[in-house]
Structure 1
């Protein structure tokens, strides 16, 4: 059965990204023991940017294009808050409680997305979303207290 499994490129990238995140979480714990969180994030970001650029160059998919002001401000916002601030807080969490406890709280990401969608875009929250959020809260509670 295992020999008949087939993976497409997206599957491989998804698995690789999860492995990279696990490696990042473990490495950031070690790094933040020797340097402050921002310095560790800077080094990790530099390595990630270099790896992405190298891939883009060799796969001929690296495209640099100027952005008009509004899309540039959107890009800047996502970079500062969705990238830098989020990773700083993640690294602080990993430094304080470790990668295994921190990773449990990644399960709240879809719940926060649901709430943000409701508050920002007035997306409706249905019964299935409420049940899903409840299952997430119960799972995190059982994992951290069980």
Structure 2
């Protein structure tokens, strides 16, 4: 039960990221992202700095991939998440975020030349339909009567950013020690975000962080989803497998919607429930369909071999 407990905690921490991001959306998105990364960097520094310094030549050699990883997964993804929460509900954000695996698979086909089974393509299409269902408020065939929500479209940026990050993780992350990589990427993200945050403060004013609730929320964002959830997830993957561990992330919309209803007072409609179910089923088909097909092929081959013997 230990790895399953870890993954349950990971889901709750990631749901907390969305719920707290919504709760403090009086703060602008660049400010939230900057202070989240600053806190994460301070927490990670004692753990990862020796490894980062020891492997500095590797990071310098692959500085372009490191920059892409930092921009896509550390900076832009969080900016889009918190920017989206300025306009749309946390339930919508969670449902749309759960479509990321299907979009990543599409990127893998074109960039990594991966091949998909028919079942996986069906899962991709189903996931995208579920995402569109949420974006269009369940009115797929009533375009003229829609009231477009800019927050849902901002989430598309988060989906694309994390999909790009996932591709570069596959291509390059094996080159770097894990904690050193997270520390360096967080540091690069901070350097890139700092001038952008200064411009944001110049435009909208310097935010007041004297509010105790803001400080607690930023500490949570910087410690739990940025650091502890990562440790728990990596440990669960080692004990289970990446595919089994990733299945638990499909519960993110469910936990987030329950939390949004209880804590934030958001109304959960049938549109949210149907959209979440469509996306989750599509993701399961996309991520598990290839494995199921392989098992069937292995089973058929085994039967043939037994028949011949």
Q: Bigger CA drift: 131-140 or 15-24? A: 131-140
Match of 1:63 among 51, 55, 60: 51
> Per-residue displacement from partner, 1:37-80 (whole Å, max 9, x unpaired)?
101111122233334446x37xxx97323143332321121001
Secondary structure of 1:96's counterpart equals coil
Aligned to 1:77: 68
Aligned to 1:3: none
Secondary structure of 1:32's counterpart equals coil
Q: Bigger CA drift: 105-114 or 61-70? A: 61-70
Q: Give the aligned length.
A: 134
Q: Bigger CA drift: 69-78 or 84-93? A: 69-78
Alignment of 1:30 with 2:18, yes or no, is no
Alignment of 1:49 with 2:54, yes or no, is no
The change in CA–CA distance for 1:67 and 1:22 in structure 2 (over 3 A counts) is farther
CA distance in 1, matches of 2:68, 2:57: 14
CA distance in 1, matches of 2:39, 2:114: 37
The change in CA–CA distance for 1:12 and 1:96 in structure 2 (over 3 A counts) is same
RMSD: 2.5
- Determine if contact 2:103/2:124 at 8 Å carries over to the other structure: no
Aligned to 1:40: 32
TM-score by length of 2: 0.39
Structure of greater relative contact order (alpha carbons < 8 Å, 6+ residues apart): 2
The change in CA–CA distance for 1:99 and 1:67 in structure 2 (over 3 A counts) is farther
Match of 2:81 among 90, 95, 104: 90
Can you give the 5+ residue segments of structure 1 that lack an aligned partner in the other structure?
A: 1-5
CA distance in 1, matches of 2:132, 2:76: 26
CA distance in 1, matches of 2:50, 2:120: 37
CA distance in 2, matches of 1:12, 1:74: 33
Can you give the 5+ residue segments of structure 2 that lack an aligned partner in the other structure?
A: 139-270, 272-309
The change in CA–CA distance for 1:41 and 1:72 in structure 2 (over 3 A counts) is same
The change in CA–CA distance for 1:106 and 1:42 in structure 2 (over 3 A counts) is same
